[in-house]
Amino acid sequence: MAASGVSAPTRTEVLHLYRSLLRVARQFCDYNIREYTKRRTVDAIRDNKNLTDPSQLAAAFFDGKAQLEVAKRQALVYSLYAPKVKSIMDIIPS
Amino acid sequence: MASQFLRQTLTKTKPSTIIRRFSTAAAVASPTGYEEPTGVTMKGVKISGRPLYLDMQATTPVDPRVLDSMLPFYLSRYGNPHSRTHLYGWESETAVETARAQVAALIGASPKEIVFTSGATESNNISVKGVMHFYKEKKRHVITTQTEHKCVLDSCRHLQQEGFEVTYLPVGSDGLIDLDRLRKEIRPDTGLVSIMAVNNEIGVVQPLEEIGKICKEFNVPFHTDAAQALGKIKVDVEKWNVSLMSLSGHKIYGPKGVGALYMRRRPRIRVEPQMNGGGQERGIRSGTVPTPLVVGMGAACELAMKEMEYDEKRIKGLQERLLNGIREKIDGVVVNGSMDRRYVGNLNLSFAYVEGESLLMGLKEVAVSSGSACTSASLEPSYVLRALGVDEDMAHTSIRFGIGRFTTEEEIDKAVELTVKQVEKLREMSPLYEMVKEGIDIKQIQWAQH
């Protein structure tokens, strides 16, 4: 058996990553960052949907996991310094 | 979860109203005295929440991914990159060199050609004053435009006081310079041509490739202030034939207080340093390189390279939404500057028959600016709009909307709604608008003098 390094992610793994990213996006207290994280996740997963080459898939998945780690840390940091007053977009249901 | 508990503990409001019985010290005011749970009160204005931010040309929020890359250098890896004897210095130096390569990759240059400075203003100063002082024996003439950033214009004024000659090229009503005029103005003793890539007030993109060709033909160094262009339009130092380029960190979702200067090596351009000292940054800019800021700028540049296409497509759609949304509801809206040669994230609009200050006073829930942040302290209308030939009254009512990576459709819709409401309210109160609606031409009126 050739040890070929990282293998392509399974469908379950990708869905799990997608749901984790959306969950962490909801935890941002800053309106703009929250919306951006949600939107970027959806667009990135959609753009990479049609990749077939396993090494490309593995690279994209690895990148996604790294971004998830960054997002988790930053959600915490942003909440530590959350301003007392929220953005106007969060207050008025527009 | 531990992180939940940590967050709850640390965000409990501080007991700043405890009465200290045996202390004669004055009560310490809470650091954010203007923020109450019900809203914000500052400068006599009360709003229910933080305004939505549409001023991306003034500065941009720091991207969380950039902040993530910067924090370790404030916490544990705090060494001085110029310390050669220990791990702290080595790891700091490696980080600075990585950032240098990231910045260079974005503009198509080699890392050896990048010098880190404290911002685009400092880079502009080094370029304009440094180049002319170095070549002051042979070259006594500088060409620039009337719509440059204040730091370039002020440096040129400083050079004029020292005895150099400066030509300020006029711009057309679309904000672009006349290339034939530039060609005519170049003299044998022209030492520098300085033209900014994307204007910060009107968003117009100058024809840099053609200007670069002209400068190469006459063998004149070409400097461009690319602070607003970096990461937004495709920047290529080879295609543009620039010798010097100023870059800014806080316009591309990076930290404030850092910038870079690109200096071409082939053919080599020499400058006289403005900051003397220990010879850091190849002697061009002495002083400790601020590792966290530089790492942040590098991360921001790498991010910009990956996200440029996605951001541009999105921002273009948002700009159209904003412009169409406003134009559908009200007339008399003029876009300042060319619509074709423009960066999509900058929209400078003038509203006829409306007074600018009162319009801004009513738009407190939207963070926009009129003119540029540098000149908003003075009362006169922006010199950029004056150079475009915009009438005084239209120049006073100009508003600059800046759209960025983090702007959402809902924010655009809300900005449209608030702007339209405020403009309609002001026009209703305006006697001038009444006269216009009746068909009277305002410019033909002979105002009776009492």
- B100 versus B398: the higher-pLDDT residue is B100
Q: How far apart are CA B169 and CA B245, in angstroms?
A: 19
Query: Model confidence at B47, in pLDDT bands (50, 70, 90)?
Result: confident
**Starting at the edge strand that comes first in sequence, how are the strands of the sheet with B141-145 ordered?**
B114-117, B259-263, B244-248, B222-225, B190-194, B141-145, B165-169
CB proximity under 8 Å: B 263-322 to A: 310
| Cα-trace Rg, chain B | 25
In the predicted structure, residue B278 carries a pLDDT above the cut 80:
yes
As a whole number of angstroms, the distance between CA B223 and CA B244 comes to 5
Q: Does B53 touch chain A (CB under 8 A)?
A: yes
**Cβ pair A89:B411 closer than 8 A:** yes
Q: Which residue in A91, A82, A31, A84 sits closest to B48, CA to CA? A: A91
Q: How far is residue B311's CA from residue B28's CA, in Å, rounded to a whole number?
A: 44
Residue B32 to residue A82, Cβ atoms within 8 A: no
Residues of chain A found within 8 Å of residue B48, distances taken between Cβ atoms: 88, 91-92
Q: How far is CA B304 from CA B105, B197, B199, B230, B316, in A?
A: 11, 17, 19, 8, 16
Nearest to B51 among A78, A88, A90 (CB): A88
Among the ranges given (A83-87, B11-15, B443-447), the one the predictor scored with the smallest mean pLDDT = B11-15
Report the pLDDT value the prediction gives residue B10, as an integer from 0 to 100: 59
Instruction: Decide if B7 and A80 are in contact by the 8 Å CB cutoff.
Output: yes
* pLDDT attached to residue B34: 72
Q: How many CB pairs under 8 A join A and B?
A: 79
pLDDT class for A34, splitting at 50, 70, 90? Answer: very high
In three state form, how does the secondary structure of A33-81 look? HHHHHHHHHHHHHHHHHHCCCHHHHHHHHHHHHHHHHHHHHHHHHHHHC
Tell me: the pLDDT tens digits for B110-119? 999 999 999 9
**Token pair of B331 as six digits:** 């007339």
Task: Please report which confidence band the pLDDT of residue B38 belongs to, taking 50, 70 and 90 as the band edges.
Answer: confident
pLDDT at residue B29 greater than cutoff 50: no
The chain B residue lying nearest A37, using CA atoms, is B406
Angle at B405 between CA B401 and CA B406, to 5 degrees: 85
CA distance B301 to B253: 9
The tokens describing B403, both together, are 């759209």
Indicate the residue of A35, A76, A83 with minimum beta-carbon distance to B408.
A35
Residue A20 near chain B (CB below 8 Å): no
On average, the pLDDT of chain B sits at 89
B31 touches A: beta carbon within 8 Å: no
A34, closest residue in chain B (CA to CA): B406
Residue B215 has pLDDT above 70, yes or no: yes
pLDDT > 80? residue B375? no
Alpha carbon distance B407, A81 (integer Å): 21
The token duo for B103 is 């910045």
> What pLDDT is stored for residue B406 in this prediction?
96
Answer whether residue B79 shows pLDDT above 50: yes
The pLDDT-based confidence of A4 (bands split at 50, 70, 90) is: very low
* Closest CB from B10, B50, B414 relative to A85: B50
pLDDT of amino acid B3: 63
Q: Which of B45, B57, B62, B37 is nearest to B365 (CA)?
A: B45
Name the band, by pLDDT with cuts 50, 70 and 90, for residue B16: very low
Cα separation, A58 vs A63, in Å, equals 8
Q: What is the pTM of this model?
A: 0.88
pLDDT at res. B27: 45
3-state secondary structure chain B: CHHHHHHHHHCCCCCCCCCCCCCCCCCCCCCCCCEECCEEEECCEEECCECEECCCCCCCCCCHHHHHHHCHHHHCCCCCCCCCCCHHHHHHHHHHHHHHHHHHHHHCCCHHHEEEECCHHHHHHHHHHHHHHHCCCCCCEEEEECCCCHHHHHHHHHHHHHCCEEEEECECCCCCECHHHHHHHCCCCEEEEECCCECCCCCEECCHHHHHHHHHHHCCCEEEECCCCCCCCCCCHHHHCCCEEEEECCCCCCCCCCEEEEECCCCCCCCCCCECCCCCHHHCECCCCCHHHHHHHHHHHHHHHHHHHHHHHHHHHHHHHHHHHHHHHCCCEEECCCCCCECCCEEEEEECCCCHHHHHHHCCCEECECCCCCCCCCCCCCHHHHHCCCCHHHHHCEEEEECCCCCCHHHHHHHHHHHHHHHHHHHHHCHHHHHHHCCCCHHHCCCCCC
Q: Is residue B25 over pLDDT 70?
A: no
Beta carbons of B32 and A88 less than 8 Å apart? no
CA distance A10 to chain B (A): 25
pLDDT at B7: 65
CB proximity A36 to B under 8 Å: yes
Q: How far is CA B340 from CA B76, B326, B344, B370, B392, in A?
A: 48, 19, 9, 22, 24
Burial B189-208 (b: 16+ CB within 10 A, else e): ebbbbbbbbbbbbbbbbbeb
Q: B410, A89: Cβ pair inside 8 Å?
A: yes
Give, in degrees to the nearest 5, the angle at Cα A40 between A36 and A41: 120
pLDDT value at residue A36: 96
- Collapsing DSSP states into helix, strand and coil, what is residue A87? strand
Select the residue of A32, A76, A85 nearest B35 (Cβ to Cβ): A85
Q: Tell me the mean pLDDT in the region A45-58.
A: 89
Residues of chain A contacting residue B35, judged by C-beta atoms under 8 Å apart? 83-85
The answer to whether the CB of B207 falls within 8 A of the CB of B176 is yes
Question: Given pLDDT bands bounded at 50, 70 and 90, which one contains residue B76?
Answer: very high
Residues of B with Cβ-Cβ distance to A21 under 8 angstroms: none
Q: Which of A36, A73, A85, A90 to mutate to test the interface with B (most CBs of B within 10 A)?
A: A85
Asked if the bond preceding A93 is cis, omega within 30° of 0, the reply is no
Q: Compare all CA atoms of chain B with the CA of A44 and give the residue at the minimum distance.
A: B310
ipTM confidence score = 0.91
Q: Give the C-alpha distances (Å, rounded to integers) separating B76 from A3, B73, B92.
A: 37, 6, 11
Return phi, psi of residue B222, to 5°: -115, 120
Q: Which of A70, A83, A89 sits opposite B35 (nearest CB)?
A: A83
Check: CB of residue B301 under 8 Å from CB of residue B102: yes
Could you tell me the CA-to-CA distances from B242 to B144, B247, B271, B308 in Å, in that order?
A: 14, 13, 15, 22
Q: Using CA coordinates, name the residue in chain B closest to A33.
A: B406
pLDDT at B2 over 90: no
Show residues of chain B in contact with A76, CB under 8 Å: 3, 6-7
Q: Is B50 on the interface with A (CB under 8 A)?
A: yes
Alpha carbon of A5: minimum distance to chain B alpha carbons (Å): 25
Task: Tell which B residues from 395 to 414 touch A, by Cβ distance under 8 Å.
Answer: 405-408, 410-411, 413-414
Question: Cβ–Cβ of A82/B11 closer than 8 Å?
Answer: yes
Report the phi/psi class of residue B73: left, alpha or beta, with left for phi > 0 and alpha for psi in -120 to 50.
Answer: alpha
Taken in order B250, B255, B258, B260, is the CA torsion positive or negative? negative
Q: Could you give the residue numbers annotated as active site of B?
A: 374
Rounded to the nearest angstrom, the minimum Cα separation between A18 and chain B is 18
* Chain B interface mutation, best of A76, A79, A84, A91, highest count of B Cβ atoms under 10 Å: A84
Instruction: Point out the residue among A33, A71, A83 whose CB comes nearest to the CB of B406.
Output: A33
Widest Cα–Cα separation across chain A: 60
Per residue in B403-437, pLDDT (tens digit) is: 999 999 999 999 999 999 999 999 998 888 888 88
Q: Could you tell me if A76 lies within 8 Å of chain B, comparing CB atoms?
A: yes
List, for residues B287-299, the tens digit of each pLDDT value. Answer: 999 999 999 999 9
Of the listed ranges B34-43, B253-262, B264-273, the one predicted with least confidence: B34-43
Tens digits of residue pLDDT in B129-149: 999 999 999 999 999 999 999
Q: How confident is the model at residue B374 (pLDDT cuts 50, 70, 90)?
A: very low
Dist CA A14 CA B164 (whole Å): 64
A66 interfaces chain B, CB cutoff of 8 Å:
no
pLDDT of residue B238: 93
Average pLDDT of chain A is: 89
Among B5, B7, B71, most A C-beta atoms within 10 A, so best to mutate, is B7
